[in-house]
Amino acid sequence: MLSVNTKNWTYSRFLKGDFIAMVSFGADPESVKEDRLEYYVTVLENESHEAFQEKFDSLADACMFLNANYGDWTFEDQTAPKSGCSTCAAH
């Protein structure tokens, strides 16, 4: 099984129908004061509607949660060559 990890999390995600599950990063006023990032497991519907989000203090924990809960979805490496009439990002 392919999985999201601390090396590929910026370009890997899981897909199921119209849903995308991925890890992203962010911060809030407290974490900014402490100069640290927060990691979010986010599920999007139709690439724009947030269906679910959970915050983690470590990237490793976010990856573990993502794989445990969405690892049976289709794994997508966004750096892999695309197929279609051209190789542009729209395909």
Residues of the chain under the 70 pLDDT cut: 84-91
Kindly tell me the burial class for residue 62, based on how many C-beta atoms sit within 10 Å of its own C-beta (0-12, 13-18, 19 or more): buried
Are 77 and 8 spatial neighbours (Cβ–Cβ below 8 Å)? Answer: yes
How far is the C-alpha of 7 from the C-alpha of 17, rounded, in Å?
A: 26
Assigned domain for 31 exists: yes
| Domain extent at residue 41 | 12-77
pLDDT tens column, 53-68? 999 999 999 999 999 9
Residue 72 lies in a domain: yes
The C-alpha atoms of residue 91 and residue 45 are separated, in whole angstroms, by 19
Q: Is residue 24 part of a domain?
A: yes
Domain annotation covers residue 21: yes
Please give the distance of CA 12 from its chain centroid, rounded to a whole number. Answer: 6
In-domain check, residue 3: no
Number of domains in the chain: 1
Answer whether residue 40 is part of any domain: yes
CA distance 79 to 71: 19
7 in a structural domain: no
Is residue 48 assigned to a domain? Answer: yes
| Whole-structure pTM value | 0.83
